[in-house]
Amino acid sequence: MQKPLMRIPYTGPLPPPNIIPRNANTITGAVAALSRFLTAPPSPSLSLSHGGSDPQSTVILSGAGISVASGLADYRGTNGTYRQNKTYRPIYYHEFLANHEARKRYWARSFLGWTNLHKAKPNSAHYAIKNLGDMGIVRSVITQNVDSFHSIAHPDIPTLELHGYLRALRCVTCHNDLPRETFQESLASLNPAWAEFLTEVIASGALDTENPAERSARGVKTNPDGDVDIPGAPYSTFRYPACPRCLANPPISGDGTQTIVEVDAEGGLEPTSTAGILKPAVVMFGESITNTVKEAAEQAIDGSGKLLVLGTSLATYSAWRLARRAKERGMPVGILNLGGVRGEEAFFQDLPMAQQGEAAVRADMGTDKVLPELVNQLRRSGFSTNVDVSDPADEPHTNNTIFKDVLS
């Protein structure tokens, strides 16, 4: 008997935040508070964990809210999927591995959503973080996002993708990586009718609007991470390829038996296969983050003196535990997020009465509205930066940071 699926946490609205300090209820006030937060001396209660610590630096922990201004959906925001689509739930890792039909459905929806995701660009918030890094304020970034926008916008800031990335696929058997662009071409070749349909959907403009009601009126539901649902679509007709390495040389399984990789005449993976399944290089719901990634995230927290949380409700435990770790170390915590954050009151206990941002900040605003103004304020107050913000379309989808190999 299959055990019940895990409950998706915090799908409803979280309690509204208490703004800290009180004047952070305007952009001007929030910018002033964040400026003081980022430039204040290290907290006297900060415990230094190792010799590589930089108590004056800040580590950023970001979530889907920072990419909303790029046209991507989030989970728990005002127009988030969990609010707009009450029946939505992401595919679970064990479902993806065990069920050929579930994989068809996943890859069909991902095929439809990839074009829009791939053409989306980092927004002003991502480039503001680049500026903060060039100023020597931000030491590293931990992101829950899988869109690669951080590593495109600021490749010189060490960035850890806590939940992986969509720019590549990984074979669950041989762990070979495959670029998503190559995979997308294979999907189009295997599914010409779907490719033609995608062309029609794009031409209709159904994927261009950010308004959920308009998309729904056109028969399209868009969800985070490049998932597009077409109610009533014949997902069972969709085909997807095998891992090319396993197809060429089926490996021996862990128990010593020969695996089977079978494809149809055009190259679509057959359900009889026991190897060669490709999955997105992301941590799916119900899948565990590797110890290597966990340790890298902890080291990023321990190596800094302040934590700035951007565009996330910290609903996932993997992110919330990092904020808790920062608080337990005595790190000042700042949160810039539209809407409530899981257990946020615990991050703002015992604050000095007269503090105006030096010890904590909580603002209920969009990152794209506040962060660029914050950079301007810091420049006016004496911080300098040599930033040439190039067109993100010219930047490769790579992650050239000290964390780039943690998922290998």
Binding-site residue numbers for Zn(2+) are 171, 174, 243, 246
Amino acid (1-letter code) at residue 195: A
Cis peptide before 21 (omega within 30 of 0): yes
| Beta strands 221-223; 177-179: pairing state | unpaired
Nearest to 370 by CA among 129, 178, 198: 129
How many distinct helices (H) and strands (E) make up the chain?
Answer: 13, 11
| Beta strands 278-282; 164-171: pairing state | antiparallel
- Asked if 163 is an active-site residue, the reply is yes
Nearest to 33 by CA among 379, 341, 377: 377
* Cβ atoms of 239 and 264 closer than 8 Å: yes
Q: 188-218 as b/e, with b when 16 or more CB fall inside 10 Å?
A: eebbeebeeebeebeeeebbeeeebeebeee
d(CA 9, CA 313): 11
One-character DSSP codes across 186-255: HHHHH-HHHHHHHHHHHHHTTTT---HHHHHHTT-EEETTTEEE-TT--GGG---BPPHHHHHSPPBPTT
Nearest to 43 by CA among 326, 249, 293: 326
| From 94, 163, 175, 397, the catalytic residue | 163
Catalytic residue list: 163
